[in-house]
């Protein structure tokens, strides 16, 4: 046990004081401390004195990188995401990291565990600190969208979203046009002669999301029946359960899945029920994960340039950080990759 005696030197802090420690000691917000550090004239004299006194008392040393752009924010980008494993999330994060590394920016990741009010508040507070730099929110789901809406207006932030118009705020939001891609995938199946197309949806989807909306658009334009959406979880086990329900219906001859993992689960269920792919049922995935070309049969799917999306988000976020106009966004459009898992339906008696 270590005891402090009268002759002992003062114990050192376990870690250096942060800008939030200074704010608490001075009784102000961390934004006010940031303004003092950057010489803003908008801070009252008595408030400035209190902040400077707290800085001296705590022996606070401002992070030099946090002043690199003259705006009190770090030469860094922090990514807020609810998942780092799913292909779309991970590939978007990869694109951000690659672009940041090339530009000499540090990258941090804040994982939000749920869309609860407390988790959203904690995530928004964390990335609101100037040391977080610019912020990119991967808002493919409700949790990410809520964090985006909760950010202060002084936080330079950009969102990667699932569909255009999805964001709940007026923040800069960048997306891939998956609605048109889902429509193209559905039209491909209809053109093969399928009467309609069933849809196994990923959890983030609702009636207004890109993948589900594009599927419905194509069916309505063709005058085809619109079956009930089959909801599934993110993993293949949930997709397998959904696939078993579809496999028991002889009227099901074509299925569009919300991502390639779901397509794999549906494919397994069809196999166990003795329904051949693509002879009895055609299956289309979404995202074009690296292994989809090597399945048996090779999967027809929609290719999504998530890494390009991540790079574009980084560039837009840095422009905000530097107070520059938003750059033009040029992304590779999603496209249907036709492989072996789709074919005309077998003739029926």
Task: With respect to residue 10, please indicate whether it lies within any of the assigned structural domains.
Answer: no
Q: What is the CA radius of gyration of the chain?
A: 25
Q: Are residues 23 and 96 in the same domain?
A: no
Question: How high is the pLDDT of residue 240?
Answer: 95
Q: Are residues 38 and 99 in the same domain?
A: no
SS3 at position 198 = strand
Q: Are residues 103 and 209 in the same domain?
A: no
Q: Which two tokens stand for residue 247?
A: 């496999």
Q: Are residues 265 and 119 in the same domain?
A: no
The residue assigned the tokens 């530097």 is 322
User: Do the beta carbons of residue 293 and residue 84 sit within 8 Å?
Assistant: no
Task: With respect to residue 289, please indicate whether it lies within any of the assigned structural domains.
Answer: yes
Q: Which two tokens stand for residue 9?
A: 């030197």
Q: Give the dihedral sign, CA 128/132/135/139.
A: negative
For the chain, how many structural domains are there in total?
A: 3
Question: How high is the pLDDT of residue 167?
Answer: 47
- Per-position pLDDT tens, the chain of length 349: 333 223 333 344 456 788 888 889 999 988 788 777 765 667 787 887 788 778 878 877 665 444 444 445 678 999 999 999 999 999 999 999 999 998 889 999 999 989 999 999 999 999 988 878 899 999 988 899 999 999 988 899 999 988 755 544 578 999 999 999 999 999 999 999 999 999 999 876 455 578 999 999 999 999 999 999 998 877 788 899 999 999 999 999 999 999 999 999 999 999 999 999 999 999 999 999 999 999 999 999 999 999 999 999 999 999 988 888 888 888 999 999 999 999 999 865 3
Domain that holds residue 46: 19-62
Question: How high is the pLDDT of residue 243?
Answer: 96
- According to DSSP, the β-strands at 230-231 and 172-174 are unpaired
Task: Measure the CA–CA gap between 28 and 44, rounded to whole angstroms.
Answer: 12
Q: Are residues 113 and 129 in the same domain?
A: yes
Task: With respect to residue 213, please indicate whether it lies within any of the assigned structural domains.
Answer: yes
Q: Are residues 158 and 185 in the same domain?
A: no
Q: Are residues 311 and 170 in the same domain?
A: yes
Question: How high is the pLDDT of residue 248?
Answer: 95
Question: How high is the pLDDT of residue 168?
Answer: 47
Question: How high is the pLDDT of residue 62?
Answer: 60
Nearest to 258 by CA among 273, 275, 238: 238
Task: Measure the CA–CA gap between 249 and 243, rounded to whole angstroms.
Answer: 10
Residue 318: give its domain's CATH number: 3.40.50.2300
Task: Measure the CA–CA gap between 322 and 325, rounded to whole angstroms.
Answer: 9
Question: Going along 47-148, which residue ranges are E strands?
Answer: 76-81, 106-111, 134-139
Question: How high is the pLDDT of residue 271?
Answer: 96
């Amino acid at each position: 046990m270590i005891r402090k005696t009268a002759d002992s030197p003062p114990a050192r802090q376990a870690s250096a004081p942060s800008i939030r420690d200074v704010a608490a000691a001075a009784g102000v917000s961390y934004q006010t401390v940031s303004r003092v550090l950057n010489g803003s004239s908008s801070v009252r004299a008595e408030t400035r004195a209190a902040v400077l006194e707290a800085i001296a008392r705590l022996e606070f040393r401002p992070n030099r990188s946090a002043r690199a752009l003259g705006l009190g924010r770090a030469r860094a980008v922090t990514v807020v995401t609810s998942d780092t494993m799913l292909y779309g999330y991970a590939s978007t994060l990869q694109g951000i990291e690659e672009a940041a590394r090339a530009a000499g920016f540090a990258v941090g990741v804040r994982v939000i565990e749920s869309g609860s009010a407390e988790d959203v508040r904690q995530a928004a507070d964390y990335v609101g600190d100037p040391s977080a730099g610019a912020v990119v929110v991967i808002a493919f789901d409700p949790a990410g969208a809520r964090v985006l809406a909760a950010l202060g207006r002084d936080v330079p932030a950009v969102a990667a979203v699932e569909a255009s118009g999805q964001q709940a705020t007026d923040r800069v939001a960048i997306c891939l046009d998956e609605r048109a891609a889902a429509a193209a995938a559905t039209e491909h199946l209809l053109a093969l002669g399928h009467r309609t197309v069933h849809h196994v949806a990923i959890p983030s989807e609702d009636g207004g999301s890109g993948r589900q909306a594009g599927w419905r658009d194509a069916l309505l334009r063709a005058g085809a029946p619109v079956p009930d959406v089959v909801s599934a979880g993110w993993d293949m086990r949930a997709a397998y359960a959904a696939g078993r329900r579809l496999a028991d219906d002889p009227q099901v001859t074509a299925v569009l899945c919300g991502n390639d993992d779901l397509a794999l689960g549906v494919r397994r269920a069809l196999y166990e029920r003795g329904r051949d792919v693509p002879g009895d049922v055609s299956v289309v995935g979404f995202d074009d994960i690296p292994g989809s070309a090597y399945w048996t049969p090779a999967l027809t799917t929609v290719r999504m340039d998530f890494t390009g999306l991540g790079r574009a988000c980084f560039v837009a976020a840095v422009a905000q950080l530097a107070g520059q106009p938003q750059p033009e966004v040029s992304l590779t459009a999603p496209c249907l990759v036709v492989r072996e898992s789709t074919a005309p339906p077998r003739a029926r008696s």
